[in-house]
Amino acid sequence: MAIAQHNQPYAVEQMELALTVIAEHAVTLNDVLMSLQEQFGKHQDLCAYLGAVKCMVEVIGGIADEATGGDVAGDMRHWIYGPHFAKQGLKTKPSAI
């Protein structure tokens, strides 16, 4: 039986790099899953599985990306709601007098 090796905790810079790599891989996987959903849209069961995995990837990627400032794709809201979320509701509204 192998003895478990315990590594030292990451330095802040190492943690930021690790989270950035996780977020970058999540972006790629999310794109692949969206493509597969479009390709196999007629197969409801397969699309449901792909959708579930896509949700998990968005959460993992969003957590990692937001923890490092959102430089890969954006903050958690960008990952979950999409790139246009921040613009919604910002239309000019008449100010109250």
- pTM for the whole structure: 0.72
Mark residue 92 as left, alpha or beta (left: phi above 0; alpha: psi -120 to 50; beta: remaining). beta
- 71 vs 88, residue with greater confidence: 71
CA separation, residue 54 to residues 13, 16, 31, 62, 74 (Å) = 28, 23, 9, 12, 17
Q: What are the structural domain ranges in the chain? A: 12-81
pLDDT tens, residue by residue, 12-47: 999 999 999 999 999 999 999 999 999 988 899 999
Residue 82 DSSP code: -
Tell me how many degrees the CA angle 60-62-63 measures, rounded to the nearest 5.
65
CB atoms within 10 A of CB 61: 26
